[in-house]
Amino acid sequence: MASILVIGSGLGGLLAAVRAADAGHRVVLVTKSVLPESNTRYAQGGIAAALFRDDSVDAHVLDTLRAGAGLCDPAAVRVLCEEGPARVRDLIRFGVDFDRDESGVARGLEAAHSRSRVVHAGGDATGAAVEAALVTTVRRRAAIEVHEHTMLVDLILDRGEVVGARVLGPNGVQFSLTADAVILATGGAGALYTHTTNPVVATGDGVAAAYRAGASVADVEFYQFHPTALAVPGTPLVSEAVRGEGAVLRDQLGQRFMLAEHPDAELAPRDVVARAIARQMERQNGAPVLLDATGLGRDLLETRFPTITAACRAAGLDWAVDPIPVAPAAHYWMGGVETDTWARTSLPGLFAVGEVARTGAHGANRLASNSLLEAAVFADRAVRALGRPWPMRAHSTPIFDAAQPADPSRPLPADLNTLVDRTQLQRLLWDCAGVHRSGTGLTGAAAILDGWSSPPATSTSVAALEDRNLLGLARLLVAAALAREESRGAHFRADFAEPRAELAWSHSQSLELVPAKEAIAC
Please give the distance of CA 159 from its chain centroid, rounded to a whole number: 30
Residue closest to 375 by CA, chosen among 200, 164, 139, 130:
130
Q: Residue ranges of the domains in the chain?
A: 229-329, 414-518
The per-residue pLDDT for 511 is 52
Q: How far apart are CA 271 and CA 277, in angstroms?
A: 10
User: Beta partners for 433?
Assistant: 437
User: Which residues in the chain land under pLDDT 50?
Assistant: 394-415, 512-522
Written as one letter, the residue type at 74 is P
The per-residue pLDDT for 218 is 97
Please give the distance of CA 116 from its chain centroid, rounded to a whole number: 23
The per-residue pLDDT for 402 is 33
DSSP state of 112: T
Residue closest to 42 by CA, chosen among 174, 238, 225:
238
Q: How far apart are CA 208 and CA 7, in angstroms?
A: 13
Domain 229-329 - what CATH class? alpha beta
**How do 181-184 and 350-352 pair as beta strands?**
parallel
Q: What are phi and psi of 278, to 5 degrees?
A: -60, -40
Classified by CATH at the fold level, domain 414-518 comes out as Methane Monooxygenase Hydroxylase; Chain G, domain 1 (1.20.58)
pLDDT tens digits for 114-128?
A: 999 999 999 999 999
Q: Under the phi-then-psi rule, with left for phi > 0, alpha for psi from -120 to 50, and beta for the rest, what region is 31?
A: beta
Q: How far apart are CA 175 and CA 35, in angstroms?
A: 20
* Residue 387: other Cβ atoms inside 10 A: 10
DSSP state of 367: P
Q: Under the phi-then-psi rule, with left for phi > 0, alpha for psi from -120 to 50, and beta for the rest, what region is 490?
A: alpha
User: Beta partners for 168?
Assistant: 151, 174
The per-residue pLDDT for 391 is 85
The per-residue pLDDT for 392 is 52
Q: Is the Cβ–Cβ distance between 181 and 344 less than 8 Å?
A: no
Q: What are phi and psi of 175, to 5 degrees?
A: -150, 170
Three-class secondary structure of residue 408 per DSSP: coil
Sign of CA dihedral 58, 61, 63, 69: negative
Can you give the pTM of this predicted structure?
0.90
Q: CA triplet 331, 340, 346: central angle to 5 degrees?
A: 95
DSSP letters spanning 139-195: HT-TTEEEE-S-EEEEEEEETTEEEEEEEE-TTS-EEEEE-SEEEE-----GGGSSS
What residues contact 344, with CB distance under 8 A and at least 6 apart? 350, 351, 382, 385, 390, 391, 392
pLDDT tens digits for 392-443?
A: 554 433 333 333 333 443 333 334 569 999 999 999 999 999 999 999 999 9
Q: CA triplet 300, 226, 105: central angle to 5 degrees?
A: 40
Q: How far apart are CA 472 and CA 450, in angstroms?
A: 10
What residues contact 463, with CB distance under 8 A and at least 6 apart? 422
Q: Is the Cβ–Cβ distance between 185 and 7 less than 8 Å?
A: yes
Three-class secondary structure of residue 488 per DSSP: strand
Q: Is the Cβ–Cβ distance between 183 and 7 less than 8 Å?
A: yes
Q: How far apart are CA 350 and CA 474, in angstroms?
A: 23
Query: Using H for helix, E for strand and C for coil, what is the string for 215-226?
Result: CCEECCCCEEEE
The per-residue pLDDT for 403 is 32
Q: How far apart are CA 376 and CA 80, in angstroms?
A: 9
The per-residue pLDDT for 27 is 98
Q: Is the Cβ–Cβ distance between 507 and 219 less than 8 Å?
A: yes
* Residue 189: other Cβ atoms inside 10 A: 30
Residues classed as catalytic: 270
